[in-house]
Structure 1
Amino acid sequence: MNILLFIFNSPQEWILVILVVFLLFGATRLPQLAKSLGQTRKAFKDGMREAEEEEKREAEARQQISPAPVTPQISELSDEALAEELRRRAETKQA
């Protein structure tokens, strides 16, 4: 809209543009055009709002997903814990 303010900076230019619009579309067609423009604008805003809400839902879903449990590194385990971990892994391979 700022571009139009720079192009049409005098009231005479605005009046001329309005007259041309009336001549092109007629007085009966202008309310229909305005209504259509309003509906289009509303649909666009609704679409933008829905996209933002969907993005928020996806972000919340990503935060709720918990990562897989982290198994300790073998070098961090004591001898007993290491033996237990080796037994557990052997059982998992056999199953």
Structure 2
Amino acid sequence: MNGSFLLMFESPWQWMVILAIILLLFGSSRLPQLAKSLAQSKKAFKEGLDEGEDDAHREKLRPAATEPRAALSDVDDETLFEEARRRAAQRRSEETKQS
């Protein structure tokens, strides 16, 4: 959809006319405020999308977390070490995704 809209304005003159109309409508003093507001809205929209994905991911993980766990005394040391390594690797991968 965005590509077809941009193809309508192939000539630089068309873009200059559009920019001149925007400048006349909003004035040169108001354009920086308008750009800042647009950027903040875009950022809030992306954060909302990411938040929705995080909620969906948590819902997928929730049933796995409610499964009954074995008693600690029933698990051998090697299994405990493997689980600790797996969780540490998972934390590192989550931290790199957030960065």
In which range does the TM-score fall when normalised by the shorter chain? Answer: 0.5 to 0.7
Offset, 1:64: 2.8
Alignment RMSD (CA, Å): 1.5
Partner of 2:54: 53
Q: Percent identity?
A: 43
The two structures have a TM-score, normalised by structure 2, of 0.62
- 1:31-88, CA deviations, whole angstroms, 9 ceiling, x for partnerless residues? 1110000000000011111111111111000233339xxxxxxxxxxxxxxxxxxxxx
Give 5+ residue unaligned stretches, structure 2: 69-99
Q: Which amino acid aligns with 2:64?
A: Q
Q: CA deviation at 1:7?
A: 1.1
Equivalence for 1:14: 15
Q: Normalising to structure 1: TM-score of the pair?
A: 0.64
- In the alignment, the residues of structure 2 paired with residue 6 and residue 49 of structure 1 have an alpha-carbon distance, to the nearest angstrom, of 30
Counterpart residue type for residue 13 of structure 2: Q
CA distance in 2: counterparts of 1:62 and 1:24, whole angstroms: 54
Structure 2 equivalent of residue 29 of structure 1: 30
Secondary structure at the aligned position of 2:14 is classed as helix
**Cα distance between partner residues in 1 of 2:63 and 2:19:** 52
Task: Quote the Cα distance in structure 2 between the aligned partners of 1:14 and 1:47.
Answer: 32
The number of equivalent residue pairs is 67
1:3, distance to aligned residue in structure 2 (A) = 2.9
Larger radius of gyration: 1
| Cα displacement (A) at 1:6 | 1.4
